[in-house]
Amino acid sequence: MTQILDGKALAKTIQAQLTAKVHDWTPQVGRPPGLAVIMVGDNPASAAYVRNKERACDRVGIASFGQKLPGDTPQAYLEGLIAELNADERVDGILLQLPVPQHINDVTLLNTIDPNKDADGLHPVNLGRLVRGEPGLRSCTPLGVMQLLHANGIDIAGKQAVVIGRSILVGKPMALMLLEANATVTVAHSRTHNLSALTRSADIVVSAIGRSHFLTADHIQAGAIVVDVGINRIETSAGQYRLVGDVDYEAVSPIASAITPVPGGVGPMTVTMLLHNTVLSYCQRMPALAHERGTLLS
């Protein structure tokens, strides 16, 4: 039987653990953890993501400092806003919702965020800490994948892993986290030749390319572990829309030993790791909680 890696259920469990910790720690510190999400413009998908994150903060007991700004907000204003949030003692995590309007330099803004408040784990300092194997805030989606594998008893050490996608958001940090867990890792991308031959040799395949049903049964060896990071919106014959992954789930799931569904797999874990990073930053910044830093995700 194929093992379904249920991210929705695991996310609920982890959020419940975070809720209990925040409830216990808030009286000690005198305030709850705080997350500031900056959204520029009126992208409908971004607005939905931000609402989802705010609701998750409410469930866990994290204070939200949302900043929803017009699409023509100047770069200089955003840099000043991030500087204010860096200095705000109520704020433990800062997230810039991507994408931003074309006139905004998102790299500059991401680099302006205090690395110790970098809830998305995308600052060069945190990526450098990942490369060096040092503690730090990790990229949310890859961290969510690692937690999903760990919680389901999947031993990564010694396995051959192929990551499809090389973005700084998922592909590169995903490869580094798998390598840190002692997998042998290959990163594939749009210019990789004979991809199916490569993926058929893998024990673990992680797809993060954003192409619906790209991975078929021909790409997967029997017994492989398949992690689908892709979220693609496609139109049905009835003129409605539904979400699908990069993996042809119906074709691949009978072959795989374990697989993530879309939706309900990696997506819920990404939001949960954002909450985790905010609470972890809170612990790191509060001397009263120094002894608690190793208890998250335990």
Q: Where in the sequence numbering do the catalytic residues fall?
A: 53, 97, 120
The predicted structure's pLDDT at residue 241: 80
The predicted structure's pLDDT at residue 298: 55
Q: In 10 A of CB 131, how many CB atoms?
A: 13
Return the amino acid letter for 42.
Answer: D
The predicted structure's pLDDT at residue 295: 62
29-47: pLDDT as tens digits = 999 999 999 999 998 888 8
The predicted structure's pLDDT at residue 293: 62
Task: Confirm whether 9 is domain-assigned.
Answer: no
Task: Confirm whether 37 is domain-assigned.
Answer: yes
What band does 146 get if pLDDT is binned at 50, 70 and 90?
very high
Residue 15 near residue 272 (C-beta atoms within 8 A)? yes
Q: For residue 69, what are its two tokens?
A: 């700004």
| Contacting residues for 285 by C-beta, under 8 A, at least 6 apart | 92, 116
Domain containing residue 58: CATH number: 3.40.50.10860
174-184: pLDDT as tens digits = 999 999 999 99
Please give the biggest Cα pair distance in the chain. Answer: 57
Task: Report the number of distinct structural domains present in the chain.
Answer: 2
Residue 231 annotated as binding site: yes
Range of the domain at 50: 27-114
Residue 129 annotated as binding site: no
Are 146 and 223 found together in one domain?
yes
Return the amino acid letter for 211.
Answer: R
State yes or no: cis peptide before 99, omega within 30 of 0: yes
State yes or no: cis peptide before 135, omega within 30 of 0: no
Are 68 and 177 found together in one domain?
no
The predicted structure's pLDDT at residue 123: 96
Is the pTM value of this prediction over 0.85? yes
Nearest-Å Rg of the Cα atoms of the chain is 19
Residue 7 annotated as binding site: no
Domain containing residue 157: CATH number: 3.40.50.720
